[in-house]
A = this chain, B = another copy of it.
Amino acid sequence: MFSHNQRLQYSVHVHEPNPALANLMLEQFGGPQGELAAAMRYFTQALAEDDPGRRDMLFDIATEELSHLEVIGTMVAMLNKGAKGELAEAVDSEAEMFRKLQGAGNSSHVTQVLYGGGPALINSGGQLWTGGYIDSIGEPTADLRSNIAAEARAKIVYERLINVTDDVGVKDALRFLMTREIAHQQSFEKALYSIDSNFPPGKLAGMPEFADAYVNTSQGEADMRGPWNNDEDFRYVSSREEHLAMDGGDGLGSVKLKSEQKKAVEQMATRLKSNRDVNPVTGAMLGRGENLQPRH
C-alpha cells in the first residue's frame, strides 16, 4: 500500500519559465531511461519476487523512483507555468502567441498545444512511453543485471541534462536525482552478488564446445584482439568456413512433412514457380516507356 506526502523528496525552485528546458526534462519523466520506467521496472519485479530481502529492496527503490518522477514532473510543471497561463488565457495576439510557441524551440510545441504545459508520458521528442521499455523477465540474476544497467543509463542521461542546464534550481535537483542512481546501482550490485553462483544466469548449463568460442565474424584491417577474445579465456574462431554449420552438419533447415502436407507444399511451389528461363516484360519497363516485347 502506497501513501503520499505533499512535500517532495527534494525541493525544486526554478529560476524562470523555460518551455524548451521543460521539454528536455521530459526525457527523464516519460522517456526510456526516465523515472516511470525505473519505478515500473522495480515494482513489477517486487510483486513476483519471493526472496524477502530482494522483495523489500525492490519496493524501497521502486517507491523512491516514483518520488523522483514527482520531482522531475514538478520541474516540468514549473518551467511551463508561465507559458501555460498565457496560452489558456490568450493574453497576447494570435501572431504573438505563434511567435512565442515557435521561438521556444525543440519539440516544446507538443507539450503546450496537446498537454497544456503539464508533464506527459512522452520523451523529449514526443514519443509516447511504452511498456517495451521495461525488460523485467522474472529471473533475479537477469533482472538485477538489467537494473544495474538501467541505473547506469539513467545516470548518464541526467549527466547530459545537467550539462545543458544553467537554471541553478533545476540543476541542483538534477544532481540529486543523478546521485541517487549511483546509490541504487550499488544496491543492485550487492544484491546480485549475494546470490551464490549467479553466472551463467538460470539453471541450464551451456554446451561446453561453444561456451567459450569467440566467432570473429567481422574481419578486415580493423580486426582487433583484446580481453574479450583473448586466447586465455576464449577459443578464437576466425576461419569463415568454420563459422558455417558449427554443429558439423549441413547448415540447412529441414522438416519432415506428412504426405498430404508435402503434396500441398509442392502444389503451392508449382503454382508460384519462378520461371527463370524467361525475360519478362515488367511494370518498370512499361513505366520507362520501353518498347514492349511479347512474353515468352
Interface string of A217-235 (1 = CB under 8 A from B): 1111111111111101110
Does B282 contact A193, Cβ atoms closer than 8 Å? yes
Interface string of A258-292 (1 = CB under 8 A from B): 10110111111101111110111111111111001
- On chain B, the residues within 8 Å of A165 by CB distance are 94, 98
Give the distance in Å from the alpha carbon of A253 to the alpha carbon of B44 in the complex. 15
Residue of B nearest to A130 (CB): B132
Across the A-B interface, the 4 shortest Cβ-Cβ residue pairs: A116-B138, A125-B126, A7-B251, A199-B287
Interface string of A48-91 (1 = CB under 8 A from B): 10111111110111111011011001111111111111111111
Q: How large is the interface on A (under 10, 10 to 19, 20 to 34, 35 or more residues)?
A: 35 or more
Does B164 contact A179, Cβ atoms closer than 8 Å? no
Give the distance in Å from the alpha carbon of A95 to the alpha carbon of B89 in the complex. 31
User: When the two chains form the complex, which single residue of B5, B13, B60 contacts A214, counting CB atoms closer than 8 Å?
Assistant: B60
Give the distance in Å from the alpha carbon of A246 to the alpha carbon of B157 in the complex. 22
Does A40 contact B36, Cβ atoms closer than 8 Å? yes
User: When the two chains form the complex, which single residue of B116, B160, B180, B260 contacts A91, counting CB atoms closer than 8 Å?
Assistant: B260
A 128-150 contacts with B by CB, 8 A: 128-142, 145-146, 148-150
Does A85 contact B126, Cβ atoms closer than 8 Å? no
13 of the cross-chain contacts (CB-CB < 8 Å) are: A12-B253, A43-B73, A48-B116, A50-B265, A56-B218, A63-B218, A86-B260, A88-B139, A145-B152, A190-B228, A194-B228, A197-B287, A227-B278
Nearest CB on B from A202, distance (A):
5
- On chain B, the residues within 8 Å of A90 by CB distance are 163, 203-204
Nearest CB on B from A255, distance (A):
4
User: When the two chains form the complex, which single residue of B33, B44, B124, B210 contacts A183, counting CB atoms closer than 8 Å?
Assistant: B210
Nearest CB on B from A125, distance (A):
3
Nearest CB on B from A113, distance (A):
5
Does B121 contact A134, Cβ atoms closer than 8 Å? yes
A 184-219 contacts with B by CB, 8 A: 185-204, 206-207, 210-219
Does A136 contact B118, Cβ atoms closer than 8 Å? yes
